[in-house]
Structure 1
């Protein structure tokens, strides 16, 4: 009976998608008019892809047209992967949010003795911003951490720093006994069926499908590339409980008080919105690197997910596409 229901659901979603493709196309094309948009738009409903649009090229010379196989840097959205891998290890009882990070990394500066796992998940560790340079790698970031001074006492302030993200990946390696790349692939990408996503570690470790326009870095937990479809699969896996417990995911959205941003998630998951009764209505996360831009939006009332990734450097276009698609979806729901 279950398989028959799944087949029926798939048929209904497919029929719905076919009936709405023209409407989605019209909204997308009107949204990007004269914007120079170069990127991909994917819409999912109830876990299934119902719309895909690939506009522009993957290379600087505009000869290789974008396809479903092309990968972008998700920027800050990719930090969700390090958050999830830490949360998985906590669920397994292999570490605790209250653990001092010096328990796992013995080379940290003396000031870091009071920094906990929770602090690096919430950007409240006091670590300074990363000093970017072309081709920066994990060893460079480690040296920055070793020679850094905390901007404030752990837990007493908020400062968004990619050094926290690198530390998460290094702690995953220490606790799991595996490279972060392998752990991420085995425990996140493979579980969520993300077939095209990967962590780049060296200049030579580059995919033929990487879209032009990112900044060259090779940092654990940060230099990650995904397709929009894979990012949709990740979103589906998060909220189906496949990767982590949904109740725990909801719990770590609340409680943030130091960033000064409305509805800012406590852990590194972007921002969220609730109704007057406290019910989760939607969440979204955006990211940049530097001409690659990503926007992941999930409406829980209609169970739609919109993933937009671009490489033209114009982030505002993504919000315009999202807003116009939201209006269409809400009117049809």
Structure 2
């Protein structure tokens, strides 16, 4: 306890000294991230905004494992499970247009699937309560492989709507339903019906080796990961466009407050929902938090408006260290004029 008090006191001294030397909050955030990179604890891009204004944008480290190209804010990152927000929002857009209902069973769209498709509703897919098994990542190397596996499923793991099991077959079927109803590929739907409407110009779905300005993920030994994905439909954004996306959710620019509440409502407290997790009160998103991991990518979308501060923090890393929440906490402390702990 004594040592902790000394440490906290030192953090206060560091914080006070920083302002003594005229450092702004943006300077402190940028220095914090830079020091974290030097310590080998952060490589990626960060955007911080409050009340609709960007406080700072920071590109820190390398674009790939070769360590020749440094990151800029133009680089786009895989963001793992946060990409599931696009199919969740897409489902609600089509529901608002009267093209589907959340009570619709999967069999309505894909009658050739086994009998279990007559039991699973779109609502079950949104809440991860379908009972479907997980994607077989060892043998699935594309959508066609996954369709074959789904057609072989004879029995569900549990009765739909009775339990929660977070897995990507729920996501896969949401995307396939959108494609079926919209009459276009899910990738085209995202580009034309979501990103364009959101004013996002640089988003890309399922980038390949030939696409420019894609941050490549790598491990601590600088071994680079591939871009191959077992199932399609993963939307990659740069931090600026990610902020636009968060603001679309916050201000109901694509779907209504009621639809937003629907995909912010989990099966049970602590479970994931279509938008990750959050709180909505009337027409105000009070909290929206979603993290994602894909190989050595890690991302965090953090929105806090509980006290009217309208704070958005976007963290995109291509060298996963498991510390995005710690980084967000430090940034919040800096913004609030509180002591903060360096990455270690």
TM-score by length of 2: 0.81
Give distance in 1, aligned partners of 2:253 and 2:196.
11
Give distance in 2, aligned partners of 1:313 and 1:22.
24
Corresponding residue for residue 58 of structure 1:
63
Are 1:238 and 2:245 an aligned pair? Answer: no
Check the 8 A contact 2:25/2:335 in 1, yes or no.
no
Q: Which runs of 5+ in 2 are unaligned?
A: 1-22, 218-224, 339-344
Q: CA RMSD in A?
A: 2.5
Are 1:282 and 2:294 an aligned pair? Answer: no
* Aligned pairs for 1:1-333 within 5 A: 20-29=25-34, 34-133=39-138, 136-148=141-153, 149-200=155-206, 206-213=210-217, 214=225, 216-217=228-229, 219-221=231-233, 223-257=234-268, 262=270, 264-265=271-272, 267-272=273-278, 281-300=286-305, 301=307, 302-316=309-323, 318-331=324-337
Give distance in 2, aligned partners of 1:67 and 1:236.
22
- TM-aligned CA distance change 1:134 to 1:19, over 3 Å: farther
Check the 8 A contact 2:34/2:60 in 1, yes or no.
no
Q: Select between 41-50 and 122-131 the one with higher mean Cα deviation.
A: 41-50
- TM-aligned CA distance change 1:104 to 1:327, over 3 Å: same
Greater Rg by CA: 2
- TM-aligned CA distance change 1:91 to 1:122, over 3 Å: same
The alignment covers a number of residue pairs equal to 304
Give distance in 1, aligned partners of 2:70 and 2:212.
13
TM-score by length of 1: 0.84
Check the 8 A contact 1:200/1:224 in 2, yes or no.
yes
Deviation at 1:207, TM superposition (A): 1.6
Deviation at 1:250, TM superposition (A): 2.4
Check the 8 A contact 2:46/2:57 in 1, yes or no.
yes
